[in-house]
Amino acid sequence: MRKVTIQEVAEAAGVSKSTMSRYLNQNYSHMSVSTRQRIEKTVKALAYRPSRRAQSLKTKRSRLIGIMIADISNVYVSLLLKGITNYLKQYDYQTLIMESGNSVEQERQQLDQMLDQSVEGIILQPNSRLSATYQFIADAEVPLVLVDRETAPFRWDTIETDNYQATSRLSAQVHQSAEAYTVGLVVSEDVHAISTREQRLAGFINGVAPLPVQTVELDASNAAFTQKLQTLLAANEHPLVFANNGKVLAVVLKTLQALSLSVPRDVGVAGYDDWNWAGLVGPGISTVEQHPDKIGYLAGEMLMKLVQPHEKKPKPAIHTLPASVKFRQSI
Amino acid sequence: MRKVTIQEVAEAAGVSKSTMSRYLNQNYSHMSVSTRQRIEKTVKALAYRPSRRAQSLKTKRSRLIGIMIADISNVYVSLLLKGITNYLKQYDYQTLIMESGNSVEQERQQLDQMLDQSVEGIILQPNSRLSATYQFIADAEVPLVLVDRETAPFRWDTIETDNYQATSRLSAQVHQSAEAYTVGLVVSEDVHAISTREQRLAGFINGVAPLPVQTVELDASNAAFTQKLQTLLAANEHPLVFANNGKVLAVVLKTLQALSLSVPRDVGVAGYDDWNWAGLVGPGISTVEQHPDKIGYLAGEMLMKLVQPHEKKPKPAIHTLPASVKFRQSI
DNA sequence: CTGTTAGCGCCTTCAA
DNA sequence: TTGAAGGCGCTAACAG
């Protein structure tokens, strides 16, 4: 049962390809009712469905939108995707999802492939902080919306969390705490690679001020963190550990468990939670909860505005969404 | 900067479209080195990239494979996707990802759209248990691989976890426990809708036998579960609660926390864990950990075998992957 | 070694 | 109200 073409249905219905095409595009204006019904029946009988490829070759509309994220196994990202598809489902668009694996080169390759597939628009969680990196997308005249992270200088619609504010509010809780912390320890992946991480670090420093703040970078292993922590404890410090994202928070908690450290007696803990599980762990971990689904939904909305032919295009802007701060017993 | 076509590069390089096409498809066999280099330079200068749509219209190869899952925000699914893309990245294929929202009708619509986009193959987490539901895909001669769940009668390659075995092994731990459980309580979404859930229920009953087993269905709220649990406790039962998937486990744990019940003193808990967080919660929750990334990877591999033109097609089979059972203190 | 020609499946004037 | 013809960007014989 090979795919049937417009030619074949047309013949079966006893009309020309042009008439078929008119039917498909709902140009019923000047078509006799009888022809229309005849075509309708034939289409149903043959289970005919037009080929998008052929259509789009002609019309330049692929009905494809590209979504480029850093890591698809990330919970934040999966909720983001949920939000995007949730908005897009009312439209007749399909999503081409690719992941960059946090590599700028791979990202570029994948984006090129997206363009090759003639996507009509792109939602991007950028790996690079430079707008110039993505200029080629604008050159190809493909609408672009950034999510989660921003690039400089400002150029495209960007939807992100209010990281500075939220982190600041959460970490300021340290001043209400019965525990007397002597140092803040921010655990993060490469801080300066991504705008978001920098914003959170800055927010933390602001929130706990005048407490001194140290940072430790988390790579493949947790060795650096473990060592840093033990050094601090050996020096009789009382650290407040801050995990800069959900993945890091998981590592931090597992490390503390492995070291049999008590929270918040030995160390305080706070951080970003993507899983919504932090409330169940230990005494309840104080966290920032983002709303990636909302970010995705809004990104979908923005992109559709840019893609739809007849909408007036709004000026690009940065949209900052508030995050929820959950105060629990871990500080 | 509109997209440049093969025609334009050909003219710029002073060759015909055919020669350009040969270059693109690496048919260098009978092409003078000078032409080749000239083309190479022009292509680079104009930043030319061929249009996949046009190519595929001719060649019937879209380089697109469709992935249809039930719920994209599910952690299991995001790891599954990771596994698939992880395998596919060595090939030049893009993924069209859609979600069915656990609805058979929506699933059908989306699958139709996938076929409209001329995907070369489909990986499907089916919502229906009937193979007949998906016969139209076979009719369209599009290779199909099922993941996570199976349909009957057997017809396509299927990659899934060994749910019965794993659940059985985990729940058999009840016989080693110091706690004297009097009843098993399986919490699940609609058990008979999905093969996987039935397998787990059966495995649980087998593992805890001869302990009596009750079930409770989880819908939007946790009310039914809460009530059932309180009834059992009021009757002085000592229940072992089993959460049939990761989502349900989260609800169960949050409910127990809300009721201030102690684990395992008041109730024992075990279940399926998608997050890998269960070890951090309470006394450590005994769980089955699946390996969705491996399922995805294998699914990608199977599909590529079916899609690649020159491979000999293996007979379809059901591939059952073992899960890990983590014994912790919650039983 | 390279160009000419004829489509792939559909849409879109232009005529009839 | 309908059909014929041309073309979207590319590939693949077939010539030369």
List chain B residues with CB under 8 Å of A293: 73
Rg over alpha carbons for chain B, rounded to the nearest Å, is 26
Which CATH number do you get for residue A248? Answer: 3.40.50.2300
A135/B36: higher pLDDT: A135
Closest nucleotide C1' to the C-alpha of A10: D3
Written as one letter, the residue type at A242 is F
Q: Is position A331 within any domain?
A: no
pTM: 0.94
Tens digit of pLDDT at every position of chain B (331 positions) = 678 899 888 888 889 888 988 988 888 877 888 888 888 899 999 999 999 999 999 998 999 999 999 999 999 999 999 999 999 999 999 999 999 998 999 999 999 999 999 999 999 999 999 999 999 999 999 999 999 999 999 999 999 999 999 999 999 999 998 889 999 999 999 999 999 999 999 999 999 999 999 999 998 889 999 999 999 999 999 999 999 999 999 999 999 999 999 999 999 999 999 888 899 999 999 999 999 999 999 999 999 999 987 667 789 999 999 999 999 999 9
Residue A311's pLDDT band (cuts 50, 70, 90): low
Q: Is position B59 within any domain?
A: no
Q: Is position A14 within any domain?
A: yes
Are B297 and B80 in contact, with CB atoms under 8 Å apart?
Answer: no
Residues whose CB is less than 8 angstroms from the CB of residue B160 and which lie 6 or more positions away in sequence, other chains included? B146, B147, B148, B149, B150, B196, B295, B318, B319, B320, B321
Residues B233 and B154 grouped into a single domain: no
In DSSP terms, A289 is beta-bridged to: A273, A324
Residues B142 and B261 grouped into a single domain: no
Distance between CA atoms of B201 and B218, rounded to whole angstroms? 14
Distance between CA atoms of B79 and B296, rounded to whole angstroms? 8
Residues A274 and A175 grouped into a single domain: yes
Residue A204 has pLDDT above 70, yes or no: yes
List chain B residues with CB under 8 Å of A250: 276-277
Cβ of A98 under 8 Å from any chain B Cβ? yes
Q: Is position A252 within any domain?
A: yes
For residue B131, the 8-state DSSP code is G
Residue A105 has pLDDT above 70, yes or no: yes
**Phi, psi dihedrals of residue A310, rounded to the nearest 5°:** -100, 0
Name the domain count of chain B. Answer: 3
Residues B79 and B149 grouped into a single domain: yes
Q: Please judge whether A62 and B54 are an interchain contact, meaning their C-beta atoms are less than 8 angstroms apart.
A: no
Residues B74 and B44 grouped into a single domain: no
Where does chain A have alpha helices with state H?
6-13, 17-24, 33-46, 52-59, 75-88, 104-116, 135-139, 163-171, 195-208, 223-234, 246-258, 292-307
Q: How far is B209 from chain A (nearest CA, A)?
A: 31
Residues B253 and B179 grouped into a single domain: yes
**Range in A145-149, A320-324, B309-313 the model is least confident about:** B309-313
Q: Is position B42 within any domain?
A: yes
Residues A171 and A286 grouped into a single domain: yes
Residues A84 and A171 grouped into a single domain: no
Residues B101 and B197 grouped into a single domain: no
Closest CA to A307 of A118, A89, A156, A120: A120
List chain A residues with CB under 8 Å of B50: 116
Cβ of B265 under 8 Å from any chain A Cβ? no
Number of neighbouring beta carbons within 10 Å of residue A212: 12
Q: Which two tokens stand for residue A112?
A: 């090129």
- Interval A53-72: pLDDT, tens: 999 999 989 999 999 999 99
Q: How far is B10 from chain A (nearest CA, A)?
A: 18
Written as one letter, the residue type at B125 is Q
Surface-to-core class of residue A45, CB atoms within 10 Å of its CB (0-12 exposed, 13-18 middle, 19+ buried): exposed
Query: Can you tell me the mean pLDDT for A289-315?
Result: 91
Q: Is position B326 within any domain?
A: no
Q: Is position B90 within any domain?
A: yes
Residue nearest to nucleotide D8 (CA to C1'): A58
Distance between CA atoms of B267 and B285, rounded to whole angstroms? 12
According to the model, what pLDDT value does residue B127 have?
97
Helix axes A195-208, A163-171, angle to 10 degrees: 30
- Interval A240-260: pLDDT, tens: 999 999 999 999 999 999 999
Query: Can you tell me the mean pLDDT for A210-235?
Result: 95
Number of neighbouring beta carbons within 10 Å of residue A193: 16
According to the model, what pLDDT value does residue B220 have?
83
Report B:1-20 residues touching A (Cβ under 8 A).
Answer: 1-3
Q: Please judge whether A79 and B62 are an interchain contact, meaning their C-beta atoms are less than 8 angstroms apart.
A: no
Q: Which residue of A has its CA nearest to B1?
A: A139
Strand order in the sheet with B94-99: A318-321, A157-161, A144-147, A121-124, A64-69, A94-99, B94-99, B64-69, B121-124, B144-147, B157-161, B318-321
According to the model, what pLDDT value does residue B1 have?
65
Distance between CA atoms of A138 and A132, rounded to whole angstroms? 10
Q: Please judge whether A98 and B95 are an interchain contact, meaning their C-beta atoms are less than 8 angstroms apart.
A: yes
Closest CA to B88 of B65, B62, B56, B116: B65
List chain A residues with CB under 8 Å of B140: 1, 3
Q: Please judge whether A277 and B250 are an interchain contact, meaning their C-beta atoms are less than 8 angstroms apart.
A: yes
Q: Is position B282 within any domain?
A: yes
List chain B residues with CB under 8 Å of A257: 279-280
Residue A194 has pLDDT above 70, yes or no: yes
Measured at the CA of A307, the angle between CA A306 and CA A308, to 5 degrees, comes to 100
According to the model, what pLDDT value does residue B208 have?
97
Q: How far is B206 from chain A (nearest CA, A)?
A: 30
Rg over alpha carbons for chain A, rounded to the nearest Å, is 26
The range of the structural domain enclosing residue A18 comes to 6-50
Output the distance from B2 CA to D9 C1' rounded to whole Å: 14
Q: Please judge whether A53 and B50 are an interchain contact, meaning their C-beta atoms are less than 8 angstroms apart.
A: no
Closest nucleotide C1' to the C-alpha of A9: C9
Which CATH number do you get for residue A25? Answer: 1.10.260.40
Are A67 and B75 in contact, with CB atoms under 8 Å apart?
Answer: no
Residues A278 and A170 grouped into a single domain: yes
List chain B residues with CB under 8 Å of A72: 78, 81-82, 85
Residues A154 and A296 grouped into a single domain: yes
**Strand, coil or helix: what is B80?**
helix
Q: Which residues touch strand D (CB under 7 A)?
A: A 14-19, 22, 29-32, 34-35, 54, 57-58; B 3, 5-7, 17-18, 20-21, 24-25, 50-51, 54-55, 57-59
Distance between CA atoms of B292 and A159, rounded to whole angstroms? 30
Residues B228 and B134 grouped into a single domain: no
Q: Please judge whether B98 and A98 are an interchain contact, meaning their C-beta atoms are less than 8 angstroms apart.
A: no
Residue A30 has pLDDT above 80, yes or no: no
Q: Who among A3, A47, A53 is closest to B53 (CB)?
A: A53
Residue A310 has pLDDT above 80, yes or no: no
Chain C, protein-covered positions (CB within 7 A): 1-13
Q: How high does pLDDT run on average in chain A?
A: 94
Closest CA to B271 of A75, B282, B260, B160: B282
- Interval A269-282: pLDDT, tens: 999 998 889 999 99
Residue of B280, B290, B294 best to disrupt the A interface, most CBs of A under 10 A: B280
Chain D, protein-covered positions (CB within 7 A): 1-13
Helix axes A223-234, A246-258, angle to 10 degrees: 60
